[in-house]
């Protein structure tokens, strides 16, 4: 009889061992599935963001139609949005051919690189209307198939002015990274 009790116990312990092995396998499989599923979601979001940025980059199209020198310290730049999304210019570079005058206009500042006199806070007296600000999601947005005039003024800190016979360059940078360059001689 002792032999029968031992063999019955072996059967029960083998059954319990098999059930424990199956349970451990299922739990480990669920953990691996959860990890892989989470990583797949992260990858999908990154891919979607990248594709969205690329699509926006391709749909953002614009041209600088003309530059008009209002005075020796003001220029008006005419933009036309021929893209499939609203154009939000975030930066305008204005410089002369010799780079003795080099300004960067953004939503928050107008910075002189040459001549060096620092930067001033962007206001409508320096750029009208104010450029797009990504941090506040506000500013100039040009709708599809529309013209927009942007007037840029030279800050008075350097005493610089536009001079006749000099070629000036304007680089306009859109929110999604497109850049358009335009040359005009005063």
* pLDDT score of 78 more than 50: yes
Domain limit, last residue, from 28, 59, 90: 59
| 106 has pLDDT over 50 | yes
Residues 97 and 55 occupy one common structural domain: no
Q: Does one domain contain both 15 and 96?
A: no
Stated length of the chain: 186
| Structure-block tokens of residue 80 | 């036309």
Our count of domains for the chain comes to 2
| Residues 97 and 46 both lie in one domain | no
Q: What is the mean pLDDT of residues 141-169?
A: 83
Asked whether residue 176 falls in the same domain as residue 148, the answer is yes
* 89: CATH: 2.60.40
Q: In this structure, are 123 and 156 located in the same domain?
A: yes
Give the domain-ending residue among 43, 59, 75: 59
Among residues 59, 76, 102, the one where a domain terminates is: 59
Tokens 């953002």 correspond to 60
Q: Are residues 113 and 176 in the same domain?
A: yes
Instruction: Tell me: pLDDT of 88 over 60.
Output: yes
Domain boundaries, position 55: 1-59
34-to-22, 38, 96, 111, 150 alpha-carbon distances in Å: 18, 6, 59, 51, 53
Cα–Cα nearest to 124, from 143, 148, 151:
151
pTM beyond 0.95, yes or no: no
Q: 12 and 44: one domain?
A: yes
Q: pLDDT, tens digit, for every residue of 34-69?
A: 999 999 888 888 888 888 777 777 888 899 999 999
133 falls in which pLDDT band (50, 70, 90)? confident
Residues 17 and 53 in one domain: yes
Q: Which of 37-46, 109-118, 125-134 has the highest mean pLDDT?
A: 37-46
Whole-number Å distance between alpha carbons of 170 and 180: 8
In the predicted structure, residue 155 carries a pLDDT above the cut 70: yes
Output the CA angle 147-151-152, nearest 5 degrees: 135
Torsion of CA 186, 140, 118, 185, to 10 degrees: -10
Regarding whether 136 and 47 lie in a shared domain, the answer is no
Query: Is the pLDDT assigned to residue 168 strictly greater than 80?
Result: yes
Question: What does the alpha-carbon distance between residue 2 and residue 46 come to, in Å, rounded to a whole number?
Answer: 66
Same domain as 133, residue 119: yes
Residues 124 and 65 reside in one and the same domain: yes
Residue 3 has pLDDT above 70, yes or no: no
Same domain, 106 and 15: no
């Amino acid at each position: 009889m002792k032999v029968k009790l031992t063999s019955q116990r072996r059967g029960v312990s083998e059954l319990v061992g098999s059930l424990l092995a199956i349970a451990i396998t299922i739990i480990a499989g669920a953990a691996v599935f959860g990890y892989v599923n989470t990583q797949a979601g992260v990858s999908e979001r990154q891919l979607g963001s990248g594709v969205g940025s690329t699509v926006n980059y391709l749909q953002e199209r614009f041209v600088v139609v003309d530059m008009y020198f209002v005075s020796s310290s003001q220029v008006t730049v005419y933009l036309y949005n021929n893209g499939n999304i609203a154009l939000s210019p975030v930066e305008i570079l204005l410089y002369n051919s010799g780079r003795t005058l080099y300004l960067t206009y953004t939503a928050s500042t107008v910075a002189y690189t040459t001549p060096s006199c620092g930067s001033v806070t962007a206001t409508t007296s320096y750029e009208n209307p104010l450029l797009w600000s990504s941090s506040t999601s506000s500013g100039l947005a040009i709708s599809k198939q529309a013209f927009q005039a942007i007037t840029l003024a030279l800050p008075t800190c350097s005493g610089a002015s536009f001079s006749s016979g000099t070629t000036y360059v304007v680089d306009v940078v859109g929110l999604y990274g497109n850049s358009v360059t335009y040359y005009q001689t005063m």
